[in-house]
Amino acid sequence: MSRITRGQIVLRTERIALSEVIEEAVEAARPQIEAARHQLDVSVPREPIVVDGDKARLVQSLTNLLSNAAKFTPAGGHIGVTVTAHAGEARIAVRDDGLGIPAEQQARIFEAFAQADTDLARSKGGLGIGLALVRKLAELHGGAVRVESEGAGRGSVFTLALPLAKRAGPLRARPAEPSADTGRSLRVLIVEDHPDAADALEMHLRLRGHETAVARDGPSALECVERFSPQVAFVDVGLPGMDGFEVARRLRAHPSCAGALLVALTGYGRSEDKRRASEAGFDTHLTKPAPLAAIAQLLADVAARTRSRADAR
Ligand SMILES: Nc1ncnc2c1ncn2[C@@H]1O[C@H](COP(=O)(O)OP(=O)(O)OP(=O)(O)O)[C@@H](O)[C@H]1O
Ligand SMILES: [Mg+2]
């Protein structure tokens, strides 16, 4: 296992068979695919196709492609996943017979926050960061992602290309090394009524591999924790209606959230807020706009705690 740091994303690289990546990604996207009653066909060659990669990140990338295929294809569509290897390169192709993407938009959908100019893309409530993340992770693996579509209504094919593993040797030779793992994925809830602030924080977290949920107000945050069981929650104290302090008290009392790290986001210089934050059950507070380094440190602490708890079991 080697750990490669490039930019802020830490890759934990090991030799992996792509069939395992496909399996896990399909499991993750299955509820969405089934909800839309799509037919899914997966074709993986019998001989293992092996790459040096970070399994969790590759699963995350492929899950994003599958989730897009499910989302941008009208109910009852067809989604196909095929894996091939040729000339030192593995290719995972995700095909759908959905909305398609007009030629002039194919380049920009890989940019962060970019969505095709269809009402549907907006109406689905995404942010337009899934593909930016897929591209970034592909590049970190020395690979690439591209799209082909004959245009609106003609379906799309997204292909993730990765270099095949060069070294011969057994799969997963050594067990994962235990370490303070900043690359570990956490479930993070953002409770913030200001869309730009929420989007920026969500983008930052998702690009680092965390799962995120955003609630615009207290009642939706409380509803969300039932399903999401966050490990960390960032809560703006200045929410309209139920304020952040009340949200914290109720999150703290909620069984799916009792052990979560609660972080108050307070306005600049309001020391009164800081005292009230700790009374309300927040573990800590950050002054907005929260410095990214402080956020990273908090998440690394939670990840390390979660890991040592898992090790103790
Ligand atoms: N399979 C697809 N078919 C048609 N359009 C697609 C497909 N995948 C992506 N797109 C277009 O590319 C845009 C960007 O995709 P991306 O995954 O980055 O964002 P999103 O799915 O809208 O939001 P997010 O992934 O952040 O929830 C989408 O909004 C959509 O317009
Ligand atoms: Mg997406």
Per-residue pLDDT tens for 119-167?
Answer: 555 556 566 778 988 999 999 999 999 999 998 899 999 999 999 998 6
Nearest CA owner, ligand 1 atom 9: 68
User: Per CATH, is 187-312 categorized as 3.40.47.10?
Assistant: no
pLDDT-derived band at 177, boundaries 50, 70, 90: very low
Convert the pLDDT of each residue in 53-66 to its tens digit. 999 999 999 999 99
Q: pLDDT, tens digit, for every residue of 223-281?
A: 999 889 999 999 999 999 999 999 999 999 988 888 899 999 987 667 788 888 989 99
68 pLDDT tier (thresholds 50, 70, 90): very high
Residue 8: the pLDDT is 60
Higher pLDDT, 288 or 214: 214
Domain residue ranges in the chain: 2-163, 187-312
- Residue 1 pLDDT grade (very low, low, confident, very high; cuts 50, 70, 90): very low
Q: Can you tell me which residue has the tokens 């492609």?
A: 65
How many residues are given for the chain? 313
> How far, in Å, is the centroid of ligand 2 from the Cα of 106?
14
Give the architecture-level CATH label for domain 2-163: 2-Layer Sandwich (3.30)
Question: Mind giving me the DSSP string for the chain?
Answer: -EEEEETTEEEEEEEEEHHHHHHHHHHHHHHHHHHTT-EEEEE--SS--EEEE-HHHHHHHHHHHHHHHHHTS-TT-EEEEEEEEETTEEEEEEEE-SS---GGGTTGGGSTT---S-HHHHHTT--S-HHHHHHHHHHHTT-EEEEE--STTS-EEEEEEEEPP-S---TT-SPPPP---TT---EEEEE-S-HHHHHHHHHHHHHTT-EEEEESSHHHHHHHHHHH--SEEEEES--SSS-HHHHHHHHHHSTTTTTSEEEEEE-TT-HHHHHHHHHHT-SEEEESSPPHHHHHHHHHHHHHHHHHHHHH-
pLDDT of residue 179: 33
Measured distance CA(237)–CA(21) in Å, rounded: 40
Q: Which atom of ligand 1 is nearest to the CA of 124?
A: 22
Task: State the pLDDT confidence band at 313, using cuts at 50, 70 and 90.
Answer: low
Ligand 1 binding pocket includes 221 (Cβ within 6 Å): no
What is the pLDDT, as a whole number, of residue 293? 80
User: For ligand 1, is residue 79 a contact (CB within 6 Å)?
Assistant: no
Residue pair 134/65 in contact (Cβ under 8 Å)? The answer is yes
**Residue 203 near ligand 1, beta carbon < 6 Å:** no
